[in-house]
Amino acid sequence: MFFKALSHGHATSNTFVAILSPIVKNLGLLSVVTTVGLLFAIAFFIEEKKGFLQKEALRVKKLTQLAAIIWIVTIVGSIFTQLAVVLGGSFSEAFSTALFRYFLLDTIIGHTYIAQLILASISLLLMQRAKKVGTIYWALGLTILAMILPIFQSHSSGLTNHSIAIGSLVFHVIFISLWAGGVLGLFVISPLERANSLKRFSAFALWAAIIVSLSGLLNAYSRLNFLAAWNSSYSSLVLLKFVLTVLLIAFGSRHRDYIIAKKSEATYSLLGMEIVVMISTIVVGGWLSTLQPPSHEVKQNVLLAPNLNRLFWSYSPDILILGILLIVSALYIRGLVILSKRGDKWPIGRTIAFFCGVGFADYATSGGVGIYAQYSFSYHMIAHMILGMIAPIGFVLSAPITLALRTLPIGRSQEERGIRGSVISLIHSKVMGFYTNPVVALGIFDGSLFLLYMTPLFGAMMHSHTGHVIMDIHFLLSGYLFFHVIVGVDPNPRKVPHIVRIIILFAAMSIHAFFSITLLSTSTLLDNGYFAALHRTWNVDLLVDQHLGGSIGWAMGEIPILIALVATFIQWVRDDSREANRIDRAADRADAMGEDDELAEYNRHLASLRLQDEQD
């Protein structure tokens, strides 16, 4: 009964708890949005000098720390109010040590609260020690991660369209927080910084408005039966939030007009009204998160045995991964448009490689293979190989970092590093130097196979949609890192000799083969009962299917590595050819000017050393 209560909640009879719970929740929402917005302002609006925070940023940082402290307090308060609601409104029983420990340590909701507290505390510590804008980036990232964690345990996770519900809500929360928080950040920074940042924020707000609107509509679609649920209180709140969002977009449009007309006082007044509307939008969103969507009967379709038609034409969008791919694609296209307007050319092969990577990644997560990967280990392994070894090659060969460096905005002054300077600093940082070490990249690429599949971690992650998403992202990132080090065309903080790359590729091939043999030799299932609980009517021998996955992993894993090996040899030959041409051109210039070339100078140096030895 206690577990059931934690999952769905009980109506509380205690008036104090009934009043306190929404107050704590809304205060937490407002404080985390404030924290996100002020960090966003420090990172992207307030001018820094060579990466160091200046006086205005340090002033806003103090306000940010205060908002973060309030947020952490509300997380602790939410633990007690949530437990009190579960216990039927008994606030005194929520302070019971045994119940409190059980709630935190033995329930998924408790684990989420612990993770939130840890991430929020680390973020606060980073804020306190931050002297450079790079630290603020990390604090902002951790704050956003902590903010979205409860989404994966919300009512959305229990919906039939949980992939659409969770994914759309994640994007909705992130971008409405950056949008609303950004407005608040503009409101509190100095007039000079505000004037310098309005145009930059206006460009971001347009993107945010589009993402917030689309994600909100998708989330409403996943929760509501459009034919029967519009007369419910839940749908009324959805409509109210939609109206408020439209009003915010109208405010944004007026901002652009005022920016063009340089009406700074009118812009400041409009910001104040926009903040009121945004706070209302956040409160309505918080209210919605406490309500169970109207239930409606959904016909459950039985997944039929795979065939070529179903594998190639079936599609069930994983909105979280698909959303990331769409945003990355939009940014890549934006970069191409900027280059085109400047009259610069970009190799068509790189663009084709990028969209091949996007297509493969989408197919492995939302296409036929992605669908069947949730029902069969062998198809899971196919999806793994596509995400970890095929799609990353396309992304690496598309040179996204080079495109970013050529199109990202520079600082607003000679002393400001700007976004482009921050990317350059990250590329040459010690952290990137560590991860781009070929041995480290190999360890992450192949070592994670044993960590995931040969431990209980795989079984634990297969039982949740969150686990699937984490695995998919890990496969993509680890594959991208490995192939970036081996065949990447983007800037790399360390120059890896071609012979070392070839040795690493042979090592990867050997380790991958050993992993596949280990998988083929298993006598027990690795999924902790996940596939058996699905009761599928095809491939019913799960151990045979697991061994088939090992064979598929071996076959599919060797081919991309062989392709990378050939590409490395070609790059080696081309580099040698370019070096030989460089030497020849230098020799021709030296000969034309009556000077010795490099070889002649080297021979003369050897002759002088020999003469010196003879004299000694």
- Span 90-117, pLDDT tens digits: 666 666 777 777 888 888 888 889 999 9
% of the chain residues with pLDDT over 90: 31
pLDDT of amino acid 158: 45
Scanning the structure block, which residue is given the tokens 């608040």? 184
Last residue of a domain, one of 94, 128, 153: 153
Is 598 part of any domain? no
pLDDT of amino acid 348: 94
Assess contact for 131 and 52: CB atoms under 8 A: yes
Residues 179 and 148 in one domain: no
User: Residue 384: pLDDT above 90?
Assistant: yes
pLDDT of amino acid 2: 40
Domain region containing 526: 308-587
Is 612 part of any domain? no
Beta-carbon neighbour count of residue 385 at 10 Å?
25
Rounded to an integer, the average pLDDT of 526-538 is 86
Q: Which comes out higher in pLDDT, residue 215 or 364? A: 364
Residues 265 and 414 in one domain: no
- What confidence tier does 164 reach under pLDDT thresholds 50, 70, 90? confident
- What confidence tier does 68 reach under pLDDT thresholds 50, 70, 90? very high
Residues 138 and 38 in one domain: yes
Residues 280 and 337 in one domain: no
Residues 15 and 100 in one domain: yes
Is 609 part of any domain? no
- What confidence tier does 336 reach under pLDDT thresholds 50, 70, 90? very high
Among residues 503, 505, 489, the alpha carbon closest in space to that of 571 is found at 489
Task: Calculate the average pLDDT of the chain.
Answer: 80
- What confidence tier does 601 reach under pLDDT thresholds 50, 70, 90? low
pLDDT of amino acid 5: 41
pLDDT of amino acid 478: 94
pLDDT of amino acid 4: 41
User: Is the pTM value of this prediction over 0.85?
Assistant: no
User: Residue 426: pLDDT above 60?
Assistant: yes
| Cα(452)–Cα(455) distance, integer angstroms | 6
Is 284 part of any domain? yes
Residues 101 and 234 in one domain: no
Cα 51 to Cα 130, 135, 193, distances in angstroms? 11, 10, 16
pLDDT of amino acid 580: 58
% of the chain residues with pLDDT over 70: 75
pLDDT of amino acid 301: 55
Rounded to an integer, the average pLDDT of 231-251 is 66
Please state the length of the chain: 616
pLDDT of amino acid 466: 82
**What's the half-sphere exposure (Cβ side, CA atoms, 13 Å) at 27?**
16
Residues 372 and 458 in one domain: yes
User: Residue 228: pLDDT above 70?
Assistant: no
| Beta bridge mates, 52 | 49, 132
Residues 242 and 335 in one domain: no
Residues 133 and 166 in one domain: no
| Cα(10)–Cα(4) distance, integer angstroms | 9
pLDDT of amino acid 471: 93
Residues 176 and 259 in one domain: yes
Is 274 part of any domain? yes
| Beta bridge mates, 179 | none
Is 303 part of any domain? no
Structure token pair of residue 321 = 């991964």
User: Residue 574: pLDDT above 70?
Assistant: yes
Last residue of a domain, one of 259, 292, 325: 292
- What confidence tier does 328 reach under pLDDT thresholds 50, 70, 90? very high
pLDDT of amino acid 93: 65
Domains in the chain: how many in total? Answer: 3
Is 226 part of any domain? yes
Cα 589 to Cα 324, 577, 582, 592, 600, distances in angstroms? 51, 18, 11, 5, 13
Q: What are phi and psi of 156, to 5 degrees?
A: -60, -35
For residue 75, give the amino acid letter: I
- 48-54 long-range contacts, Cβ below 8 Å, gap at least 24? 48/132, 48/133, 48/416, 48/417, 49/415, 49/416, 50/415, 50/417, 51/132, 51/133, 51/134, 51/417, 51/421, 51/422, 51/425, 52/131, 52/132, 52/133, 53/130, 53/131, 53/132, 53/133, 53/136
For residue 333, give the amino acid letter: I
Is 614 part of any domain? no
Give the model confidence (pLDDT) of 31-60 as tens digits.
Answer: 998 999 999 999 988 888 888 888 988 999
- Highest average pLDDT, of 97-101, 156-160, 220-224, comes from 97-101
Residues 69 and 123 in one domain: yes
Last residue of a domain, one of 292, 316, 331: 292
Output the CA torsion sign for 460, 466, 468, 474. negative
Q: Which comes out higher in pLDDT, residue 491 or 252? A: 491
Residue 76's contacts (CB-CB under 8 Å, 6 or more residues apart) are: 117
| Cα(414)–Cα(407) distance, integer angstroms | 18
Residues 500 and 397 in one domain: yes
Residue-wise burial string across 214-224, b where 16 or more C-beta atoms lie within 10 A, e elsewhere:
bbbebbbebbb
| Cα(257)–Cα(484) distance, integer angstroms | 44
Assess contact for 381 and 407: CB atoms under 8 A: no
